[in-house]
Chain A
C-alpha cells in the first residue's frame, strides 16, 4: 500500500468516526458496508455498541460476541434482499445446466520428495515418519553399498540407506562431496529460491523399517491412475527399474518474502513414482 492510499483511508476513517461520534477503533470491511438494499438501511449496531464499538450492548452478556447475536445474522440475511446483478442469472444458468463434475476418488497417494535435482514420489502408506536429519553412526566396512549408517529414531536404531545410490543418481564413492553439495538446513536454495530443509524419511514394509535421507519433502499428493504415464526411455536405466511411471505435478504456488511467485514454482515438474515393493526388495537385498 502506498502512502497516498494510506492517507485516504485514514481520512475516510476519521470522517466516519466523526459522523458516528463513537469510539470506533477498527472497522472491518463488512462493517463499513453501506448498501442500498431497497429496505431500511442496515443498522450496524455492532459498530457502535457491539464488539467493533464500545461493547456497551446489554445483549453481549448473553451472546458474548456479535456474530452469535440474531440481530447480526438478520443483518446478514438482509444483504441478500438485493436485486440480481447483471449477468448473475445467465452465469448461474450455465453453472446448473452443466453436468455435475463428480470428483473421482484419487487412487495413488504419494509423498513427493527431492533427491538432488530429481523429484520422486513414493506411496504414502509405506511412510511412518518424516523427521529431521540427525547424526549418523557409520558402519565399518560398509562404504560401498547403499547403507550409509545407523540413525537413532525415537530410541530405535534404523538402517539409513541412500535412495540416491540405489537409483543410480549418485556413485557410492562420492559420499564425501555429497555433504559439500548439500544445502545446509534452513538455508535458501539459490537455484530454487525457496527455503527447504533436508529431511529423513522413515518407511516400513512387513515390519522392516528403514530410513533414508532426502533433500526436500514437498507434500502428500494424490493422483489418478490415468495421470500415471510411462517413464521416458531417456531416464537412466536403474531409475527406470524402480519407477512405476511419471506424473506431471504442479507445485502449489508459494510466495517468497517479496510476494512474487518463485520461478521454480511456476511450471510443472515431472515426478517419478517409485514402485515401493521393488524398492524395498532391492534395499533389503543390498543391505544384507
Chain B
C-alpha cells in the first residue's frame, strides 16, 4: 500500500494514496465569511468550487505555514445522499510517499477519536493513518452541501 505523508504540528500522519485525487500546490483561496473553524476558503478546481480545509487549523489551531511543501490534497467526500464532492485538505510537508505492507499496520491504542487509524513505523518514527473524511464536522459538511446545491443555480 502506498501512503501519502504529511505533518500536522510536529507529528507525522498519512493517508492512503489511493484516496487522493490530486495533490495541488497552495492556491489562492477565497475566504468564506463566518465559516466554521478549519475552513480556509474556497478555490476553483477545474471549473468547480472546492472547499479547502486546513488540517493544521482544524486539529492544532494554527494555520498551515505558507511554504512550497504545504500542499492541498484533494480527496473525494461522499455524503449521505451518495453525492461525491471534492474537498481540499491543506497539509504541511506533503512531500513524501511511503510504501508499506498492510501487515505492517499496527492498530492504535484504544482511546482514539473517529478519524485516527492504525499506526505505521519507519526510520523517523511513528506515522498515524487518518481518515480525512471523518475529520469533517457537520458544519463543514453543510458548507460543502450548500456548495453543491448552489452550483447549478448560480
- Residues of chain A having any CB pair with chain B under 8 Å: 70, 77, 79-84, 88-90, 92-93, 96-100
Contacts and interface: CB of A to CB of B under 8 A. Distances in A.
A84 B43 contact: no
Interface stretch (B53-61, B62-70, B128-136): B62-70
Given A92-B26, A96-B27, A81 B45 contact: no
Interface of B: 24-28, 43-47, 66-69, 93, 95-96, 123
B23 to A, nearest CB: 11
A100 B24 CA distance: 14
Nearest to B24: A96
Contact of B46 (A70, A83, A84, A97): A97
Given A89-B28, A92-B26, A93-B28, A82 B67 contact: yes
7 contacts: A79-B68, A83-B68, A88-B26, A92-B24, A92-B26, A92-B27, A97-B47
B151 to A, nearest CB: 15
Contact of A98 (B24, B43, B46, B93): B46
Nearest to B74: A96
Contacts of B69: 77, 80-81
B129 to A, nearest CB: 21
Given A92-B24, A99-B47, A100-B46, 16 more contacts: A70-B123, A77-B69, A80-B67, A81-B67, A81-B68, A82-B67, A83-B67, A84-B68, A88-B25, A89-B27, A90-B28, A92-B25, A93-B43, A96-B24, A96-B45, A97-B47
Given A80-B95, A88-B25, A90-B28, A96 B43 contact: yes
B67 A84 contact: yes
A84 B43 CA distance: 18
Contact of B44 (A77, A88, A90, A93): A93
Contacts of B93: 81
Given A77-B69, A83-B66, A83-B67, A96 B95 contact: no
Given A77-B96, A93-B43, A84 B28 contact: no
Contacts of A82: 67-68
B145 to A, nearest CB: 22
A79 B69 CA distance: 9
A77 B47 CA distance: 31
Contacts of A99: 46-47
Contacts of A79: 68
Nearest to B25: A92
Contacts of B44: 93, 96-97
